[in-house]
A and B are shown apart, each in its own frame.
Chain A
Amino acid sequence: DAKTTQPPSMDCAEGRAANLPCNHSTISGNEYVYWYRQIHSQGPQYIIHGLKNNETNEMASLIITEDRKSSTLILPHATLRDTAVYYCIVRAHTGGFKTIFGAGTRLFVKA
Chain B
Amino acid sequence: DAGVIQSPRHEVTEMGQEVTLRCKPISGHDYLFWYRQTMMRGLELLIYFNNNVPIDDSGMPEDRFSAKMPNASFSTLKIQPSEPRDSAVYFCASRGGQGGVPRETQYFGPGTRLLVL
Total interface residues on B, CB under 8 Å, equals 23
Give A93 to B48 CA distance when docked, in angstroms.
16
Give A66 to B76 CA distance when docked, in angstroms.
44
The answer on a CB contact under 8 Å between A97 and B48 is yes
The secondary-structure label for the interface of chain B is: strand
The answer on a CB contact under 8 Å between B105 and A100 is no
Bin chain A's interface residue count: 20 to 34
Write the nearest CB–CB distance from B4 to chain A, whole angstroms: 8
B54 in the interface, Cβ–Cβ < 8 Å?
A: no
A106 in the interface, Cβ–Cβ < 8 Å?
A: no
Write the nearest CB–CB distance from B82 to chain A, whole angstroms: 22
- Nearest A residue to B107 via CB reads A46
Give A93 to B45 CA distance when docked, in angstroms.
17
B108 in the interface, Cβ–Cβ < 8 Å?
A: yes
Name the A residues within 8 Å of B101 (CB-CB). Answer: 46
B95 in the interface, Cβ–Cβ < 8 Å?
A: yes
Name the A residues within 8 Å of B95 (CB-CB). Answer: 97
Q: Which residues of A contact B (CB under 8 A)?
A: 32, 34, 38, 41-46, 49, 87, 91, 93, 96-103
